Structure 1
Amino acid sequence: MYRPNFTITNKILNHIADISASREVILNAPLLPKWEVKLRKEAILKMTHHSTSIEGNRLTMEEVNRLLRGEDIAAWEKDKKEVLGYVKVLEYIDNLGEKCADNITEDIILEIHRLNTRGILTDSEAGHYRKVEVAVVNGLGKVTFQPPEASQVPALMHDFVAWLNSKEAKELYPVLMSGIAHYEFVRIHPFVDGNGRTARALATLILYLRGFDTKRFFALDDYYNEERSRYYAALQTVDQETINISQWLEYFMEGVAVSMGRVKQAILDLSVDLHLKEQRGQIYLNDRQMKILKYLQTNPRITISEIQKMFDKKISRDTANRDLKPLLENKLVKRIGKGRAIYYELV
C-alpha cells in the first residue's frame, strides 16, 4: 500500500495552528442565513474560477460569474465547458459530503474526472485511466515531470485509494491528508488531461468528508492561482527518488492558512460583536449598515457627516439617517449628545 514520505516541520505546525484558529472563528461566528448563502456562493465562484484558471482557462472572474448565472458569454467553448464542468464537480462532491460517505472509491474519482472533462475529452478518455504515456511540459516545451507509465496507473491508483481509506490516513490532520492526496494524485497523473482540476476537487472532497469545511465557505484554490509559478514550482520540489513531500506540504499548508485567514476576516466583517449574536441573527443589514458597524468595531464613535463620506459615492444625510434607524431600533448602536454634537457608538 502507498505510504507518504514526509516530516512534520515547524512550518507545518505553525500553519496548522493558524488554520485551526481561523476555522474556530469561522464555525462559531454568528451569521444570518442570508450571509451564509452569500459566502457559499462566493466560495463556489472562487473555486471554479481559480481551479480552471490555474490550468490556463481564459475566463475572468466576472465572466465565470455571468456564466454561473446562466448568461451566455462570448468565449471559447472549451473554456466554458471547463467552468461548467467544475461547477458540476463541486455539486457532486458537496452531495457526497452531505451524505457523509465513509470512503473515497476509485469510482468516485473517475466520476469527478468525467464531470470535469465531459465534452472536452472523448468518451473513452473522460472518466477512464489513461492508456498512453504523458509528460508535463513548461511553456518552453521542456519536460518538467515524467509521470509513471500508463500500465502502472491502475495498480498505483488502487494502492493510493486504499491509503486514503486507511486508519493511518484518517488519523492525520484533515488538511495534511488533503495535501498528501493532492500531490500523490498529480504524481500518478492517471488521466490524459484534467489531472490538476481533479486533484484539487479530490483535496476539497477530503476536507468535506473529514468534517473540516462544514459550512462550505472555503475556497482551496485562490491562493495557488495567485502565484501559479509557485504552485508548479512547489510540486516540482519533490525528489522523485525519495518522494519526500515535506516542502510541498509546507507550501500547501501555507496556502490553506492564507485562504482560511481571508474567510475568517470576511466573517468577522459580517459578524459584528459576538455578544450581539441573538439580535444579529434576527435582523437584516445592508452593505452600508455592515460597513458602519465594522467601522465602529475599531473606532469609538461616528457622526452623520462621517457616515455620508465613508462610501465610494457620498450619500445624503437622509440616507445616512435611514441606515442608522434599524441599528438604533435593534440596540446595535446608541445616539450620544444633542444637536450638532450628536454622534453614535456601539451599544
Structure 2
Amino acid sequence: MTLKIDSLHITVEILALVSEIDEFKGAWRALGTLAPERLSALRRVATIESIGSSTRIEGSKLTDAEVERLLANLDIKSFESRDEQEVAGYAQVMEMIFAHFDAIDLTENHVTQLHRDLLAFSNKDARHRGAYKTLANNVSAFDSDGKEIGVIFETATPFETPKRMQELIEWTRNALNEQSLHPLLVVAIFTVVFLEIHPFQDGNGRLSRVLTTLLLMRSGYAYVPYTSLESVIENSKEGYYLALRQTKKTIRSPKPNWQPWAVYFLRALQQQKRRLERKIERERLVLGTLPELSLQIVEAIKERGCMTIGEIVNLTGANRNTVKKHLATLVEANHLTQHGTGKGTWYSQGM
C-alpha cells in the first residue's frame, strides 16, 4: 500500500511551525558557542530527561534522579528490575545514535538491530528482541484488575508487518532523498505509521522515539541531543495519545487525516527547541555572574553528573568549609540539587 500523502493539507500553522524550527536549526551554530564542557553538560541533562521520560511514558516508575544514578553505574551490566533494564538499554542506544547517526542509515536491518540493542538487558524480551512480532499486539484498555475491556486500536497483523515495514522504510528514504516533502513532515509521517504498524512485540514506543531522533539528526537538526523531545511528550501525554489515535485510525483509509499528528509533532519540536533556547540563555546570563569557585564546582558536577564534597575539595584544592558555603549558595539558587545528608551527601545539577 502506498502512503497517501496528498491528503496532508499544509496549513498556515504548519508552515509557521516548520519555519520557526528551521530558523533555529540554521542559527544553532551561533547559539551553540558555549564552552565544550557546558555543551557536554547540557547533553547529559537532556539525555537523562529523555531516557527517564521515554521509559515513564511506557510505564516505568524511575525518576530522573534514579535514572542519573543508574547511568553512573551502567558498566555493571546487571540490573534487578525491568525498569532498570529498559533504562539501561535506552541509554546505550541513544548514546550510539548521538555518536554515529551519520553512519546509521534507515534500513530494516538497522531498525531491527536498534530494537535488539534497546532490549539488550530486558530478560523478558530475550526471545523476540530484534525480530518482528509473531503475535497480535493490538493496543487495548484494561480495568483496575488488569482485565482487558476493549481494543483501542488495531495494529498490523504479524503477517502484514514485514511488507508494511518494507513499504514504510522505502517511502521514507525516497521522500528524504527526493526532498518531495519537508523532512520534518516526512519524520512525522514515518513515526505515526511506524506506531500504527507496531512492528515488534514490545518496545515500539521507545524505538519510535529513538528513530525520530535518528531521522532528525540525519536531516541536519544537530541540536537535538541537547534538549529532550521525550520530556515534552511526557508533559503532554494526553495530547500525544489523542493525536496518535486520530491519525492512526485513518491511515489505511482512502483519505488519511495526517493533520492531528503532524500539528502535535511540530508543536512538540517547537517546545523542544524553545526549551533549549531558554537553557542557553540561562547558561550565558546566570553562570557568567557566579564566583570563580562556584562556576568551577557547577561545571565539574555538570561534567561528571554528581559529586561529593570530598571529591570537590580534591578537585578544586579549596578549603572544605569554603566549598560547603559555595555549595549551600548554589543549592539555594537551584544551580545544584543536594541528595542525602551527612557523610552520604552528594550533589547533582539543579533541575
Task: Return the offset for 1:161.
Answer: 1.0
What corresponds to 1:82 in structure 2? 86
Equivalent position amino acid for 1:158 in 2: Q
Task: Return the offset for 1:66.
Answer: 0.8
1:77-133 per-position Cα deviation (integer Å, ceiling 9, x unaligned): 100000000011112222331xx2373111111011111222434433101001111
Please tell me whether residue 245 in structure 1 is matched to residue 258 in structure 2. yes
| Greater Cα offset, 206-215 or 219-228 | 206-215
Unmatched runs of 5 consecutive residues or more in structure 1? 274-278, 291-309, 315-347
Please tell me whether residue 150 in structure 1 is matched to residue 152 in structure 2. no
What corresponds to 1:114 in structure 2? 116
Task: Return the offset for 1:216.
Answer: 2.4
What corresponds to 2:136 in structure 1? 133
Task: Return the offset for 1:162.
Answer: 0.7
1:267 to 260, 280, 286: 280
Two-structure CA RMSD over aligned residues (Å) = 3.0
What corresponds to 1:42 in structure 2? 45
Runs (4 or more) in structure 1 with deviation over 6 Å come to 287-290
What corresponds to 1:333 in structure 2? none
Aligned partners of 1:122 and 1:102: how far apart in 2?
Answer: 24
Aligned partners of 1:202 and 1:125: how far apart in 2?
Answer: 19
TM-score (norm 2): 0.73
What corresponds to 1:93 in structure 2? 97
What corresponds to 1:67 in structure 2? 70
Please tell me whether residue 256 in structure 1 is matched to residue 269 in structure 2. yes
- SS of the equivalent of 1:148 reads coil
User: Would you say the 8 A contact 1:178–1:204 is kept in 2?
Assistant: no
Task: Return the offset for 1:55.
Answer: 0.7
Distance 1:226 1:167, change over 3 A: closer
Please tell me whether residue 181 in structure 1 is matched to residue 190 in structure 2. yes
Please tell me whether residue 219 in structure 1 is matched to residue 228 in structure 2. yes
1:116-172 per-position Cα deviation (integer Å, ceiling 9, x unaligned): 222434433101001111210134433110001110101101111111211456523
Aligned partners of 1:221 and 1:312: how far apart in 2?
Answer: 26
2:174 to 155, 166, 169: 166
What corresponds to 1:300 in structure 2? none
Aligned partners of 2:17 and 2:24: how far apart in 1?
Answer: 11
- SS of the equivalent of 1:271 reads helix
What corresponds to 2:60 in structure 1? 57
- SS of the equivalent of 2:267 reads helix
What corresponds to 2:343 in structure 1? none
What corresponds to 1:232 in structure 2? 241
1:202-244 per-position Cα deviation (integer Å, ceiling 9, x unaligned): 0100011112125721322111101222211110012422332
1:28-86 per-position Cα deviation (integer Å, ceiling 9, x unaligned): 122011111101111111111111111111101111111111189xx961000000000
User: Would you say the 8 A contact 1:200–1:221 is kept in 2?
Assistant: yes
1:282-338 per-position Cα deviation (integer Å, ceiling 9, x unaligned): x99818999xxxxxxxxxxxxxxxxxxx97749xxxxxxxxxxxxxxxxxxxxxxxx
Distance 1:267 1:149, change over 3 A: same
Equivalent position amino acid for 1:185 in 2: F
Please tell me whether residue 202 in structure 1 is matched to residue 232 in structure 2. no
Aligned partners of 2:85 and 2:96: how far apart in 1?
Answer: 16
Distance 1:115 1:77, change over 3 A: same
Aligned partners of 1:218 and 1:170: how far apart in 2?
Answer: 29
What corresponds to 1:335 in structure 2? none
Task: Return the offset for 1:15.
Answer: 1.4
Distance 1:285 1:137, change over 3 A: same
User: Would you say the 8 A contact 2:86–2:118 is kept in 1?
Assistant: yes
Aligned partners of 1:103 and 1:311: how far apart in 2?
Answer: 43
Aligned partners of 1:65 and 1:148: how far apart in 2?
Answer: 36
User: Would you say the 8 A contact 1:26–1:264 is kept in 2?
Assistant: no
Distance 1:257 1:170, change over 3 A: farther
| Greater Cα offset, 206-215 or 194-203 | 206-215
Distance 1:4 1:271, change over 3 A: farther
